[in-house]
Structure 1
Amino acid sequence: MFVLSLAIVLLLGALGGWCAQKIGLPRIVGMLLVGIGIGPACLNLLDASFLAVSADIRQIALIIILLKAGLNLDFSDVKKVGVSAMLLSFVPATFEIIAYTIFAHFLLKLSFFEAMLMGTVLAAVSPAVVVPKMVSLIEEKYGTKQCVPQMIMAGASCDDIFVLVLFGICLSVVQSGKIGWTSLLDLPLSIGSGVLLGLLFGIFFLFVQRKEKTMAYSLQMVLALALGFLAMGVETLLKPVMAMSGLLAVMSMAMWIRKKEEKKAALLSKQATSLWSAAEILLFVLVGAAVQIEYIAQVGWMSVVVIVLSLCVRCVGVWIALLPSKLSKKEKQFCLFAYLPKATVQAAIGAVPLTMGLACGKSVLAVAVLGILITAPLGAIAMELTYKKLLIKEE
């Protein structure tokens, strides 16, 4: 039944993506809807053994796209927009968390800390939605002169780490009533150790391929993927001892390979593109399958109001983060759209408060589900419809 479930996901996911594209929507919208339709919440066509490993499959797909992203990211481009990229990694999320803390407290009748916990679940931008589009823009050379896609990718990668650290702090506060400020140290530690591990893996990769000069590019891609999986494994092993971002390690490794061997990076990127064709379907269909829509009925329309108001506040945060940049108003508008989508993080942690038996668990999960259903298609469609109008194509 596992293999049958895999076939259903790939076939229907590809069909859903094709149908969405035919009516002018991004492929991922069709894939998400297929996932919701065939998942446990609706038709329940997927075997339990397949769903049990869906989180791991989603992670593998994320590793592939982040590997491709790193192979397309230039260190010099990131340096050009360093300040704004750094601000994008925490300012928009901070604004959105504050907004949820206020609006969810007064409109959904949650305590301040419960509302803040909801904010940390919803504040992370989805790398699964954003990164593939930014890679596509780099390849098409839209916005690359001002390094817009590079800046968004760099900011979005660290945004998730920042939000997940705050989520851990808020979770412990709601659960125990005590604030563990030492958890804040996890943020720089997670970023620093992730980048360091990525650089070490990048050096190792280049050492191996220089020793074995006849190694086929397909085998080099296998080696890069294996190191990416190893980075995620190291993160899991170190979790009880210290914080480390495996996904940031994957991206850093790929960026180091590009820095040292640009031609090789371009060829590896083509290999990653082939893998992404299948990984994209798996990722978004399984994100859709993870959406527990049965909880939506437990929250009223006021939840939609909270989400919309918080997104507006988030947009203010994005605009402020972009003030030091030299971007035009149109380019800044595109950045607002790029920072809207929620999906992977919310699908991964939305149910955690409920499984831990917290009183706010059902509300947090319901709003997380609504957040995915509203923002993932909205952000993807907005980026798809506006990038040619808002970004300048580099000749």
Structure 2
Amino acid sequence: MPITIAFAIIIIGPWLFGRASKAFRLPAILGMLLFGIAYAALSGGVTDLLPPLPGEIDAISGFLKSTALIVILLRAGLGIRKASLQAVGASAFRMAIIPCLAETAVATLAFYWFFGFDPLTALVGASILAAVSPAVVVPSMLDLKERGYTEVPTLVLAGASIDDAVAITIFTASVGLLVGGSATMVNLIVSFPLAILNGLVVGVALGFFAAWFFTRTFTHIRATEKALLLVVVSLLLLEIEQILPIAGLLGVMTVGFILLERAEPVAHEMAHKLSKLWVPAEILLFVLIGLAVDLPAAWQAGGRGLAVIALGLAGRSLGVLISVAPDRSLNWSERLFALIAYLPKATVQAALGAIPLSLGIAGGQEILSVAVLAIIVTAPLGLILIRAFGPRLLSAPENAI
């Protein structure tokens, strides 16, 4: 298949499915995700009814997903004001750490019980499952913020960016331990606080530089060029994450946050341009996540896989409730919504699910199967629940931002 036709398929098809999804009062991104899953199943995953996409799409899919994720994370950072963050600061920190660790602990035990894994292999599988999906959560929370529901979406946005860093760091360290690398348990304990700190420091530094540079050149560089430069620099930040212990997603969001605080006119200009760029980026992100889903692999996980996912989510939900319990400003319906918003899995599971198998880790196929099943179950369910219950559970809207 020519690559031009392939691009037409992965743009027009998800767009049509997204429009159909909206017609049924469901999130458009759900339709885009389902198109990707369906096309993967019908082009070799389950049957050969449709032609497979060319290898060039696979080759650049990681880059396209990273770019789309950066666009939405920058938009998230550009939408969080200092006062809003201060209002949820302590709860956001707890939300960033406790739910992920709780899910990791429970899912580790579940993998041990249901699949008979040794404790370290079980920890590898659990760390893949434990990350919340920024691709699903961030757009959903931004939509609620734009409709005036600010406090809880800000809490979830701030927590989710660090939640991923915690899960990925545990995964990296545990894989290093399992395959006999230089990693130690000390690395596991120390590395994720270090990654979070580094992400904040680098994000703040880049944010201050961007604010200074774009303010000095405000009338000399077009807004589109500014947005392009910011996206490219953020991509470099994610690449640095592959070499150094840096929470890249947190760093990207921090850049947007600092830009809003230090150069508000520039931030508003950038937010407008990034909202336009998000239109094609959204389509590509969710169709590519869907295309990465292997339905036969998910089927292999079976009831044991569902049990691991369900128990892990129960642990995460308990962690969310513990995290928000000290916050007297949140009522019980808002706490319940925070729990719902932390359910979806997609981005990290699609990126990391196949790594244990590729490294020859015993149980790698089962881990991949459970990761794929987690995407199929929790991403659509989370999207539907957030859309259905967000306005019902959150307090009356403030003025939309």
* Distance in 2 of aligned mates of 1:92 and 1:375: 16
Render the CA deviation track for 1:244-279: whole Å, top value 9, x for unaligned. Answer: 122222211111110012233223211111111110
Question: For 2:201, which of 171, 188, 196 is the aligned residue?
Answer: 196
Map of 2:154 onto structure 1: 150
Counterpart secondary structure, 2:218: coil
Deviates more, 1:76-85 or 1:374-383: 76-85
* Distance in 1 of aligned mates of 2:298 and 2:350: 14
Render the CA deviation track for 1:292-311: whole Å, top value 9, x for unaligned. Answer: 22212323322212211221
* Distance in 2 of aligned mates of 1:259 and 1:251: 13
Map of 2:267 onto structure 1: 265
What is the TM-score normalised by the length of structure 1? 0.94
Question: For 1:174, which of 178, 193, 209 is the aligned residue?
Answer: 178
Render the CA deviation track for 1:188-235: whole Å, top value 9, x for unaligned. Answer: 222222222222222222222232231322222122222212322333
Map of 1:119 onto structure 2: 126
* Distance in 2 of aligned mates of 1:148 and 1:81: 8
Counterpart secondary structure, 2:398: coil
* Distance in 1 of aligned mates of 2:262 and 2:251: 17
Render the CA deviation track for 1:30-56: whole Å, top value 9, x for unaligned. Answer: 111111122352545311111121111
Are 2:396 and 1:390 aligned?
A: no
Render the CA deviation track for 1:103-152: whole Å, top value 9, x for unaligned. Answer: 2222222222222221101000000000111111111111x2xx211110
CA RMSD of aligned residues (A): 1.7
How many residue pairs were aligned?
Answer: 388
Deviates more, 1:226-235 or 1:312-321: 226-235
Question: For 1:308, which of 293, 307, 310 is the aligned residue?
Answer: 310
Q: Runs in 1 of length 4+ with deviation above 4 angstroms?
A: none
* Distance in 1 of aligned mates of 2:233 and 2:301: 43
Render the CA deviation track for 1:333-381: whole Å, top value 9, x for unaligned. Answer: 1101100000000000000000011111011000000000000011111
Map of 2:34 onto structure 1: 33
* Distance in 2 of aligned mates of 1:262 and 1:379: 33
Map of 2:74 onto structure 1: 67
**1:2-13 to 2 correspondences below 5 Å:** 2-13=3-14
Matched AA of 2:289: V
Decide whether the 8 Å contact of 1:169 with 1:181 is kept in 2. Answer: no
Deviates more, 1:195-204 or 1:86-95: 195-204
Question: For 1:324, which of 319, 323, 326 is the aligned residue?
Answer: 326
Are 2:359 and 1:356 aligned?
A: yes
* Distance in 2 of aligned mates of 1:133 and 1:281: 15
* Distance in 2 of aligned mates of 1:113 and 1:346: 18
- Provide structure 1 residue ranges, at least 5 long, that are not aligned to the other structure: none
Matched AA of 1:235: E
* Distance in 2 of aligned mates of 1:254 and 1:277: 19
Counterpart secondary structure, 2:241: helix
- Provide structure 2 residue ranges, at least 5 long, that are not aligned to the other structure: none
Question: For 1:221, which of 227, 240, 244 is the aligned residue?
Answer: 227
Matched AA of 1:14: W
Decide whether the 8 Å contact of 1:165 with 1:184 is kept in 2. Answer: no
Deviates more, 1:369-378 or 1:286-295: 286-295
Map of 1:58 onto structure 2: 65
Map of 1:368 onto structure 2: 371
Matched AA of 2:280: A
User: Cα gap change, 1:366/1:44 in structure 2, threshold over 3 Å: closer, same or farther?
Assistant: farther
Counterpart secondary structure, 2:126: helix
Matched AA of 1:90: I
What is the TM-score normalised by the length of structure 2? 0.92
> What percentage of residue pairs aligned between the two structures are identical?
36
Decide whether the 8 Å contact of 2:66 with 2:235 is kept in 1. Answer: no
Decide whether the 8 Å contact of 1:217 with 1:267 is kept in 2. Answer: yes
Decide whether the 8 Å contact of 1:26 with 1:381 is kept in 2. Answer: yes
* Distance in 2 of aligned mates of 1:313 and 1:188: 22
Are 2:108 and 1:108 aligned?
A: no
* Distance in 1 of aligned mates of 2:266 and 2:256: 11
Counterpart secondary structure, 2:169: helix
* Distance in 1 of aligned mates of 2:238 and 2:217: 26
Matched AA of 2:346: A
Deviates more, 1:265-274 or 1:65-74: 265-274
Map of 2:19 onto structure 1: 18
Deviates more, 1:126-135 or 1:227-236: 227-236
* Distance in 2 of aligned mates of 1:84 and 1:378: 25
Matched AA of 2:84: D
Matched AA of 1:358: I
Matched AA of 2:23: K
